[in-house]
Chain A
């Protein structure tokens, strides 16, 4: 017998109570507001008036999927629920979906058409739909005989692009035939994704062997790496970064023949420091790690994008001039009132 599909409205106390009671009975206990606020919609399956399955969607990620198989053919409710979530996502025009799950549920999602991108001891990361990672990789420009060339990769948020970033890219460009520079796609920073991309492109335009690419959903994105943007406990960061590092090592790097990943040393940001430690542990020997020591600038110490953002808030253009290339400086000068308005409107500037 089919179960009835219902909408659950977490904004209403009654809907939320039914939902949390059901999830708690199946062992899910993390209902932080931060997580719940991201949820776009939630559906449930009802059998004889009782909730027997539920699942939610946040952007392009399926979350909080829980199914009770009591009194049903094993797997039937899961299939019905996931079908419903997928088809609703398609109706919203979202054709590319992700899910994080425990290792023992990976095969259930694989039966629903998902493909595993990376696994760690704690969990796995799967995707479904189109364009998938193969479409993403095949759209990246390549050079002739790339398989025999020295290729390196860098991933950066560049919020905004500074002389420190520029120094890192230069070091990589000098030592390699080709450098892929992936810019983090998630749009939660002071500078928008489009602005960050444009400033990076302008900032490295003279380096002919550097290719700037949007990191898509595969590099430090919301999907792979929420902890990077949200200050969370260290083990959660370590788990997320492990998946991120393994996608880079097992999927991205082999397809593009990337043999070295360059990162800047990180004496200041706690989160990024953990991230770098995980990269050092996970990437070698398949992908070598090259940690470039941050350049010291006079008495101010290191160049950081955080510092640039603080100077924007303080309207301190003289200091910014010493921290960023002329291309970034020109942009900031042109848009400083707009950027200050974003900060005034509550945009965080202290994170990454």
Chain B
């Protein structure tokens, strides 16, 4: 799977997460901003990474601003951003979730 453009999903409102995906060439690099990074940072990054990997992306720059999102939200936002970035929104890859 190839990233064709920058893809974004999510908002900055409470309980949401905003995920921005752009081209990378050094594996999946995650830049996470979260109030609860100390407690859940590793978990959030792991969820993003797993979602992207099972979607088929190996290289990407990820910028995420978390506002206390649950795992299911993180997965959904990451997948939406990935499908926008790869221009595959016409075929929802729901099996990734």
Contact = CB atoms under 8 A, between A and B. Distances in A.
Interface in A79-113: 79-80, 82-83, 86-87, 90, 95, 111-113
Interface of A is mostly: helix
B12 A86 contact: yes
B8 A95 contact: yes
A83 B11 CA distance: 5
A153 B70 CA distance: 47
Interface string A57-81: 0000000000000000000100110
A58 B63 CA distance: 23
Contacts of B14: 76, 79
A82 B12 contact: yes
Given A113-B18, A113-B65, A90 B13 contact: no
Contact of A130 (B6, B18, B35): B6
A129 B67 CA distance: 17
A87 B12 CA distance: 10
Given A83-B11, A112-B12, A130-B61, A95 B22 contact: yes
A113 B12 contact: yes
Given A90-B8, A130-B6, 10 more contacts: A79-B14, A83-B11, A83-B18, A87-B8, A95-B20, A95-B22, A113-B12, A113-B33, A113-B63, A130-B63
Interface residues of B, number: 15
A129 to B, nearest CB: 7
Contacts, number: 41
A298 interface: no
Interface string B10-29: 01111000101010000000
Interface of B: 6, 8, 11-14, 18, 20, 22, 33, 35, 61, 63, 65, 67
B12 A130 contact: no
A131 B61 CA distance: 10
Contacts of B11: 79-80, 83, 87
B13 A130 contact: no
Contacts of B13: 76, 79-80, 83
A5 to B, nearest CB: 11
Contacts of B33: 113
A157 B20 CA distance: 33
7 contacts: A76-B14, A79-B12, A82-B12, A90-B6, A90-B8, A130-B6, A130-B22
